[in-house]
Amino acid sequence: MRHSIAIASAAMALAVGANQAQAESKGYIISNWAPAMNNFDESGCPEGKNPTIAEITAYTLKNQGMPADQIAKIVTPQGVNRQAVGDRLVMRGNKDGQAVNAYLHPLSAPDPKIKLEMNKEGFGFNLDGKVGPLDYFDPLTKESGVDNAAARVFGCFDRTRGTLEQPPGNWSYRWTHYMEGNSWLLSIDNHSDRPLDFKNEEKVTVTFYRGHQIPMMNSAGYQRDVTYTIDPNSELKTLTKFKGKIKDGVFMSERTPQFRMIASSRVQPVFDFKSALMRMTFKEDGQLLAFVGGYLPIKMVYFPFGDYASSAESAGGMDVVGVYHALQRNADSDIDMVGKTRTRISQTYQLSAVPAYLIEEPKEPAGTRTASAAGR
């Protein structure tokens, strides 16, 4: 009932504002958000993929001093005897001579030195203005020196590999479950009383929001032109803007010191980008394809894997301890002055979005709701 009222209110707002140049602000709902990966074939992993649960179990037991004949009884061609393993995987960390939970304390366990992805091409931005040996060449923009070190870390695990057309299945699964209770929205504004020009605009602001309603779906995916209410929580509306321009049909942002979106442990508690950039293209069917890149805290990037713990290893085929070690080893920004280690790693996310109507909650006393017209 409330949803129906919201739609009716939005329709009234749009009808009233039709002659007041409401079209300068376009609304969208984000239909997918995932790490931008470019694992189009196996060539990026010349030494093969990273170990799965059987190999992780075998070398963990070996590191703990178990004889090879006993390991062979636990790790067989038919699989891993989880009952025999018990909590050996969980408690494979060691601090001050005591066994500790390795998922909570990943540096307390030996570094398995996971294999990094070695493709020359990848998506993102040159964040530091340099060209390094592990930087990518972006096949879309032809930019060199692209910083996306996290893609190196995750590129040789089956669950986190993906392409532009088929983002990582692991993340798409998490996003689907996360969006069962939330929605992410986006608006594009040209600060003018004339219609937004998707070819060329000199002054454009892109703003991200959290929505109140869950996404409306149909057989084709996210339904277009549905009305969503922006969450009024000020914390969810802070550090969520990109400013830039549209040139030749591509939005390119200025560098923003910090971009931040609060999510959940299903995907990642907080997406906290430093030195962030955004690039966006407008498809003929009205949908968006965009990239957001910057430096993220390695602890936040690691969190969903550590949170899933042994399930990430047994069901997901991820060496969780190895992931943290690799994230820290390849971190490329911010230095912890106590430990003298870098704490942030470059990463780029891709997003897709479909047109939607965005409305705001009425302020007290109740007033007229404002609306963003759905994208093209």
Tens of pLDDT, residues 20-77: 344 478 999 999 999 999 999 999 999 999 988 999 999 999 999 999 999 999 998 8
* 270 touches 262 (CB < 8 A): yes
Both structure tokens of 182: 């939330």
Mean pLDDT across the chain: 88
- What is the spatial distance between Cα 236 and Cα 257, in angstroms, rounded to a whole number? 17
Mean pLDDT confidence for 247-253: 97
What local confidence, expressed as pLDDT, does residue 371 receive? 61
pLDDT over 70 at 370, yes or no: no
* Strand ranges (E), the chain: 25-35, 75-76, 79-80, 93-95, 98-100, 183-189, 201-211, 217-218, 221-222, 226-230, 241-247, 250-253, 256-264, 268-282, 288-297, 333-336, 341-360, 371-374
* 188 touches 373 (CB < 8 A): no
Q: How far is CA 357 from CA 18, 27, 256, 260, 281, in A?
A: 14, 5, 26, 23, 20
What local confidence, expressed as pLDDT, does residue 195 receive? 92
Q: What percent of the chain has pLDDT over 70?
A: 91
Mean pLDDT confidence for 264-290: 93
List the chain domain ranges: 2-51+119-374, 56-111
What local confidence, expressed as pLDDT, does residue 263 receive? 87
Both structure tokens of 351: 């997003």
What local confidence, expressed as pLDDT, does residue 10 receive? 44
- Write the DSSP string, 312-361: HHHTT---HHHHHHHHHHH--EEEETTTTEEEEEEEEEEEEEEEEEEEEP
The two beta strands, 25-35 and 371-374, are parallel
**Model pTM?**
0.89
- What is the spatial distance between Cα 241 and Cα 253, in angstroms, rounded to a whole number? 10
Both structure tokens of 210: 């959290």
What local confidence, expressed as pLDDT, does residue 266 receive? 72
Mean pLDDT confidence for 206-234: 93
